[in-house]
């Protein structure tokens, strides 16, 4: 690249393990829970068949290994026919990014191909970094600009350089196969519902579908950690990545509505790509926010909205909370993804286990410890909220490209200075119209790492109209000053997280032991 060339709007990670330690906590916790679920099923099998206990320990490992071996072949079949790209590719910008990966810890650029599907999706898979391939759908290439395609490919390359794609190779196939199998059984059962014998078939398909969704959500928890840390590495131009992701999600919804015959294929690609499954069924996309958009685009302040975002591996809000051009991963950012990954994941899955596994007794010591940890985690969720809107409009829903409908959105709420700073730094890079910013924010350097300073100096008042993009307007007002507040260090907060979720793990472990002895 010449000296006069503009700086790249994407970034690649140097080395396989450069950011591994930052998301290993969230991913490991999810995989352990995934393992514990199959371990419990294995113990039930061992009890009924009088098999050695070691069989129960090997069953989850066998399932991991089987998924790892079969995933690439099945993914190739789902995406076939794949047009593998060579030197004469119609997308030279993608080739440019891939060729640059030679200096980023990869011995050779990964193979990449185009799947002839109008459904926009992209994902990476392979047995190891040497035989990884990146598959893009033709629909994705059509909806994105060349610069956006480069940003998305750089993001996928970072999955390879960090090696985090292996976690999905070991866990992603089983929920996918259960999903496809249950979907076909359910369709057959519903299609032949006039026959009494098929009602049981439809019910069986519905049960399998529910199991696949539980496993799928567990897979999402693992994906959120790896996606968050990969975005930290690749979102050098966060607004560009934000725009690309918003385009993909909107195009997904339009594709499914216009092409009902390709629904099953689209769902399979959707499953592989971990992209917003149930929001794609909407004929219009009010917002790519995790919360459910209602009331003409305004977001309800229902507290359950904070739980809905569990079902997204690529929530745009999380991308916007990464300062543009900032690569330093401080303790506060570790807290951010740990809260997203662990704060809700383990209690929710523990509750699912308690509901669906009747052998667990709440009166046992393990059950008591688990419920205490679950309650403590909910207290933490309330004690350290990401945002507290005071009206029907959720401030977090406006920290990214939303609506895409041209409808002005009103925002009324109370924000702390830390939250304002997390909301406004990227706006300094955009064109603001009639935007009145207080002196505290005007003096803030865009490169300043605001997340390392874990204290709140008060609240500030902001009013005016901000033009984020040609499709969306945001009005910010009635943000008032308040007294100085103090937040304990992130290490102290993480310590409380550790106590809460350590109790959940300990409770599950004791309950399994009690069941074994009983």
pLDDT of 12 reads 52
pLDDT of 113 reads 92
Helices 20-49, 490-517: crossing angle, 10 deg rounding: 10
Query: Rounded CA gap, 319 and 344, in Å?
Result: 19
Three-state DSSP at 389 gives: strand
pLDDT of 52 reads 81
Is the CB of residue 177 less than 8 Å from the CB of residue 189?
A: no
pLDDT of 192 reads 56
Among 515, 516, 505, smallest CA distance to 359 is for 515
* Dihedral sign computed on CA atoms, order 379, 380, 383, 387: negative
Whether residue 298 has pLDDT greater than 70: no
Whether residue 276 has pLDDT greater than 70: no
Q: How far is CA 278 from the centre of its chain?
A: 14
- Which of residues 402 and 366 earns the better pLDDT score? 366
Is the CB of residue 474 less than 8 Å from the CB of residue 468?
A: yes
pLDDT of 35 reads 73
What Cα–Cα distance (Å) separates residue 488 from each residue in 136, 335, 484, 503? 44, 12, 14, 22
Q: Which range is least confidently modeled, 99-108, 144-153, 465-474?
A: 465-474
Whether residue 325 has pLDDT greater than 70: no
- Which of residues 380 and 171 earns the better pLDDT score? 171
- Which of residues 355 and 159 earns the better pLDDT score? 159
Mean pLDDT for the stretch of residues 390-416 = 31
Among 125, 127, 86, 128, smallest CA distance to 107 is for 128
- Mention every residue, 6+ apart, whose C-beta is less than 8 A from residue 71: 125, 168, 169, 172, 173
pLDDT of 348 reads 54
Query: Rounded CA gap, 285 and 325, in Å?
Result: 29
Q: Which range is least confidently modeled, 150-164, 240-254, 360-374, 470-484?
A: 470-484
Mean pLDDT for the stretch of residues 423-440 = 36
Mean pLDDT for the stretch of residues 196-207 = 70
Phi-psi region at 299: left, alpha or beta (left = phi > 0; alpha = psi -120 to 50): beta
Query: Residue by residue, what is the 3-state secondary structure of 445-470?
Result: CCCCCHHHCCEECCCCCCEEEEEEEC
What is the 8-class DSSP label of residue 290?
S
pLDDT of 19 reads 40
Percent of the chain's residues with pLDDT above 90 = 1
Mean pLDDT for the stretch of residues 174-187 = 75
- pLDDT, the chain, mean: 57
pLDDT of 253 reads 58
Task: State the CB neighbour count (10 A cutoff) for residue 394.
Answer: 27
The residues pairing with 444 across neighbouring beta strands, listed in sequence order, are none
Q: How confident is residue 300, by pLDDT bands cut at 50, 70 and 90? A: very low
Q: How confident is residue 123, by pLDDT bands cut at 50, 70 and 90? A: confident
Q: Which range is least confidently modeled, 18-22, 197-201, 447-451?
A: 447-451
- pLDDT winner (highest mean) among 187-201, 395-409, 430-444: 187-201
Q: How confident is residue 114, by pLDDT bands cut at 50, 70 and 90? A: very high
Mean pLDDT for the stretch of residues 16-39 = 56
Number of C-alpha atoms within 13 angstroms, CB side, residue 285? Answer: 27
Mean pLDDT for the stretch of residues 482-495 = 40
- Which of residues 443 and 450 earns the better pLDDT score? 443
Helical residues (DSSP H) of 114-196, grouped into ranges: 138-143, 146-162, 165-171, 173-191
How many degrees, rounded to 5, is the angle at CA 376 between CA 495 and CA 336?
A: 50
Q: Each residue of 126-149: pLDDT tens digit?
A: 888 888 889 998 888 888 888 888
pLDDT of 237 reads 58
pLDDT of 155 reads 81
Helical residues (DSSP H) of 274-406, grouped into ranges: 305-308, 316-320, 331-338, 344-356, 365-383
Three-state DSSP at 117 gives: coil
pLDDT of 344 reads 47
Is the CB of residue 238 less than 8 Å from the CB of residue 319?
A: yes
Mean pLDDT for the stretch of residues 232-241 = 60
For residue 391, what is the enclosing H or E element? none
Q: Each residue of 77-93: pLDDT tens digit?
A: 877 788 898 888 888 88
């Amino acid at each position: 690249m010449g000296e006069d060339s503009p700086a790249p709007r994407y970034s690649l990670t140097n080395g396989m393990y450069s950011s591994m330690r930052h998301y290993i906590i969230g991913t490991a916790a999810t995989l352990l829970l995934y393992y514990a679920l199959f371990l419990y099923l294995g113990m039930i099998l061992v009890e009924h068949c009088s098999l050695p206990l070691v069989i129960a320990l090997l069953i989850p490992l066998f399932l991991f290994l089987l998924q790892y071996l079969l995933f690439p072949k099945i993914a190739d079949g789902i995406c076939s026919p794949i047009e593998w790209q060579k030197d004469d590719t119609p997308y030279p910008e993608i080739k440019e990014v891939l060729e640059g990966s030679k200096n980023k810890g990869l011995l050779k650029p990964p193979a990449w191909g185009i799947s002839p599907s109008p459904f926009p999706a992209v994902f990476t898979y392979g047995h190891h970094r040497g035989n990884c391939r990146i598959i893009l759908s033709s629909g994705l290439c059509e909806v994105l600009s060349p610069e956006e395609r480069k940003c998305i490919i750089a993001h996928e390359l970072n999955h390879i350089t960090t090696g985090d794609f292996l976690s999905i190779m070991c866990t992603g196939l089983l929920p996918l196969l259960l999903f496809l199998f249950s979907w076909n059984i359910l369709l057959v059962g519903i299609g032949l519902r006039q026959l009494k014998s098929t009602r049981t078939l439809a019910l069986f398909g519905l049960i399998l579908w529910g199991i696949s969704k539980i496993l799928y959500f567990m897979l999402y928890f693992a994906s959120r950690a790896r996606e968050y840390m990969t975005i930290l590495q690749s979102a050098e131009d966060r607004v560009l990545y934000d725009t690309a992701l918003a385009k993909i999600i909107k195009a997904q919804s339009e594709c499914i509505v216009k092409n009902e015959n390709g629904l099953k294929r689209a769902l399979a690609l959707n499953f592989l790509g971990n992209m917003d499954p149930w929001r794609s069924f909407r004929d219009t996309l009010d917002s790519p926010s995790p919360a459910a958009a209602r009331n003409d685009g305004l977001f309800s302040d229902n507290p359950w909205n904070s739980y809905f975002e569990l079902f997204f591996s690529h929530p745009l809000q999380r991308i916007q909370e990464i300062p543009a051009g900032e690569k330093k991963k401080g303790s506060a950012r570790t807290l951010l993804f740990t809260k997203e990954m662990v704060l809700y994941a383990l209690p929710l899955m523990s509750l699912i286990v308690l509901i669906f596994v009747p052998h667990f007794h709440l009166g046992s010591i393990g059950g008591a410890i688990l419920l205490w940890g679950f309650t403590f985690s909910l207290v933490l969720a309330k004690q350290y909220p990401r945002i507290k809107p005071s009206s029907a409009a959720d401030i977090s829903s406006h920290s990214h490209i939303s609506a895409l409908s041209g409808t002005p959105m009103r925002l009324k709420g109370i924000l702390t200075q830390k939250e304002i700073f997390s909301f406004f730094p990227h706006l300094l890079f955009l064109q603001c119209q009639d935007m009145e910013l207080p002196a505290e924010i005007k003096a803030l350097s865009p490169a300043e790492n605001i997340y390392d300073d874990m204290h709140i100096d008060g609240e500030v008042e902001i009013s005016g109209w901000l033009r984020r993009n040609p499709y969306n307007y945001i009005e910010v007002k009635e943000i008032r000053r308040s007294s100085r507040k103090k937040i304990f260090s992130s290490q102290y907060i993480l310590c409380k997280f550790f106590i809460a979720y350590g109790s959940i793990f300990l409770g599950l472990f004791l309950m399994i032991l009690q069941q074994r002895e009983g």
